[in-house]
Amino acid sequence: MNSDDAAAAGLLGAFAVFGTLFLIICLALMVVMVIAMWKVFTKAGQPGWAAIVPIYNLIVMLQIIGRPLWWVFLCLIPLVNLVVGIIVVIDLARSFGKDVGFAIGLLLLGFIFYPILGFGSARYLGPAAASPAPAIGPV
């Protein structure tokens, strides 16, 4: 075995270790997110198991925030689904009495903010989309 083969074998070994660690971290974050979403759903009076069922979890989320079910179809349209996702997260934060800053945290650091929402002291106040938005500026 020459030195090039040994270097390649060492590099492949390093990639294997890095890949395995990355996979373990991703799986751990997924488990944390499922548990946090389960808790958020139960706080809102919905079945927690709905958090692990694809598409149905979106339907339940839309019920929690008070948006119509036809929004599921909007989530199937590229680029539109990004806007809808942002609106859903903002409405979710408002449904639990949180502000837009918390919603930005849910968007950017969901693995931290969803457990805060699920296990923290936040209480479900009802669907945010059903209530009128607060007025901006002088009334």
- In tens, the pLDDT along 36-57 reads 999 999 999 999 999 999 999 9
Number of domains in the chain: 1
Determine the average pLDDT of the residues in 76-105.
94
- Percentage above 90 pLDDT, the chain: 76
137 in a structural domain:
no
74 in a structural domain:
yes
pLDDT at 105 over 70: yes
Please provide the average confidence, as pLDDT, over all residues in the chain.
Answer: 89
- Name the residue type at position 6: A
State the residue range of the domain holding 84: 3-130
135 in a structural domain:
no
Tally of CB atoms within 10 A around 100: 11
Q: What is the pLDDT of residue 45?
A: 93
pTM (2 decimals)? 0.80
34 in a structural domain:
yes
Residue 45 exposed, middle or buried by CB count within 10 Å (0-12, 13-18, 19+): exposed
138 in a structural domain:
no
Determine the average pLDDT of the residues in 90-106.
94
136 in a structural domain:
no
53 in a structural domain:
yes
Determine the average pLDDT of the residues in 6-17.
81
Q: Are 111 and 37 in contact (CB under 8 A)?
A: no
Determine the average pLDDT of the residues in 14-24.
90
